[in-house]
């Protein structure tokens, strides 16, 4: 597992072995659905991978049927053709295998594996959660209606943490539920309330600001995970690094006699929601069970188990 930031020099990798290692790691995360993106992007990346592994297009071998049978090698599970329809003898023009074949055919015969791997990585480098360490967890599913109250279960999630921030990924739907830079949230680790109960999990509380009905409010998400302490430690390391970097930049600005009004860097204040900026990443808050607090710290909205806490 590699934990990287996009400023780590990977854009200028020249060593072929390192490039191949980075490609293999990115390919694994794409196929496992750990890097959520649009279906069209999965098809593009699958075509590149197929070209790297199969060589140039050969019409005698690389047919729609071939990619239909082998698509598990090139596409994550949620993109592949449903197993319930595999008995059909034909593929629709919009099926994953047809689109994968078309993408594969479009790659020029002159393209080298190095260029293709670099192209694959360039897309992955653009993803905000690239280079993350992944932790398994679960969050409460919002209750909607009486039936949901009876049958609802926690949503399994992946918590992705890299040098830029934290991302909550729906492990079943392969979609980002919440993405926050470190400047945008505060957090707290909590031990299990019943440590003798193996089913009682430790958790991580994530607090962030949003604008709701024209007012600034803070939301709190509770992530349950046996790896919560590891998440807490990794976040602490990255936040400490950011604080140190910000302080160094501020000191340098003073040394250069730059006035406060013209400074472009300021110290990050972590662990205080009132100073956190509003999240800039796309978030799907309606799919999460959250508690809501006003700027005075009063709880003004609860969902799920939060309803029994206040």
Write out pLDDT tens, residues 113-152: 999 999 999 999 999 999 999 999 999 988 765 555 555 6
d(CA 58, CA 16): 27
Residue 281: HSE in the Cβ half-sphere, 13 Å Cα cutoff: 22
pLDDT score at 265 = 32
d(CA 32, CA 29): 5
Give Cα 260 distance to the centre of its chain. Answer: 36
pLDDT score at 266 = 31
pLDDT score at 264 = 35
pLDDT score at 230 = 97
Which residues of the chain are under the pLDDT cut of 70?
1-11, 81-91, 144-152, 249-282, 302-310
| pTM recorded for the entire structure | 0.80
**Which residues belong to CATH 1.20.80.10 in the chain?**
10-125
pLDDT score at 258 = 45
pLDDT score at 146 = 54
pLDDT score at 164 = 94
Tokens of 205: 């509380």
d(CA 129, CA 228): 18
State the Rg of the chain over Cα: 23
Look at strands 155-161 and 290-293 and give their pairing: unpaired
Q: Is 161 helix (H, G, I), strand (E, B) or coil?
A: strand
pLDDT score at 7 = 43
**218-255 burial by CB neighbour count: b if 16+ within 10 A, else e?**
bbbbbbbbebbebbbebbeebbeebeeebeeebeebee
**40-60 burial by CB neighbour count: b if 16+ within 10 A, else e?**
ebbbbbbbbbbbbebeebeee
Q: Which CATH class is domain 10-125?
A: mainly alpha
In angstroms, the Cα distances linking 30 to 33, 135, 210 are 5, 16, 30
Residue 33: HSE in the Cβ half-sphere, 13 Å Cα cutoff: 18
pLDDT score at 250 = 65
Tokens of 197: 């109960």
pLDDT score at 37 = 93
* DSSP result, 196-264: T-TT---EEEEEEEEEETTEEEEEEEEEE-TTHHHHHHHHHHHHHHHHHHHHHHHHHHHHTT--GGG--
* DSSP result, 11-59: GG---HHHHHHHHHHHHHHHHTT-S---HHHHHHHHHHHHHHHH-S--T
Torsion of CA 80, 85, 89, 91, to 10 degrees: -40
């Amino acid at each position: 597992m590699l934990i990287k930031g996009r400023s780590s020099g990977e854009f200028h990798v020249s060593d072929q072995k390192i490039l191949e290692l980075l490609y293999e790691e990115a390919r694994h995360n794409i196929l496992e659905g750990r890097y959520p993106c649009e279906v069209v992007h999965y098809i593009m990346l699958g075509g590149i991978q197929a070209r790297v592994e199969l060589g140039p297009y050969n019409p005698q071998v690389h047919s729609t049927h071939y990619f239909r049978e082998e698509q598990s090698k090139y596409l994550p599970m949620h993109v592949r053709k449903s197993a319930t329809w595999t008995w059909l003898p034909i593929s629709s023009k919009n099926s994953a295998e047809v689109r994968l074949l078309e993408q594969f055919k479009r790659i020029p015969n002159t393209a080298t594996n190095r260029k293709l791997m670099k192209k694959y990585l360039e897309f992955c480098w653009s993803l905000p959660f690239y280079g993350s360490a992944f932790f398994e967890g679960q969050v409460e599913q919002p209750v909607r209606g009486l039936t949901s109250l009876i049958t609802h279960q926690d949503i399994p999630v992946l918590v992705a943490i890299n040098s830029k921030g934290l991302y909550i990924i729906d492990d079943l739907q392969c979609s980002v539920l919440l993405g926050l830079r470190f400047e945008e949230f505060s957090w707290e680790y909590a031990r299990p309330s019943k440590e003798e109960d193996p089913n009682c999990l430790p958790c991580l509380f994530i607090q962030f600001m949003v604008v709701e009905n024209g007012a600034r409010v803070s939301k709190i998400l509770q992530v349950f995970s046996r790896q919560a302490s590891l998440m807490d430690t990794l976040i602490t390391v990255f936040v400490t690094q950011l604080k140190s970097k910000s302080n160094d930049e501020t000191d340098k600005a003073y040394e250069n006699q730059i006035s406060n009004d013209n400074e472009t860097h300021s110290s990050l204040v972590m662990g205080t929601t009132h100073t956190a900026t509003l999240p800039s990443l796309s978030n799907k808050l309606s799919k999460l069970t959250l508690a809501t607090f006003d700027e005075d710290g009063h709880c003004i909205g609860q969902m799920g188990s939060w309803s029994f806490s206040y």
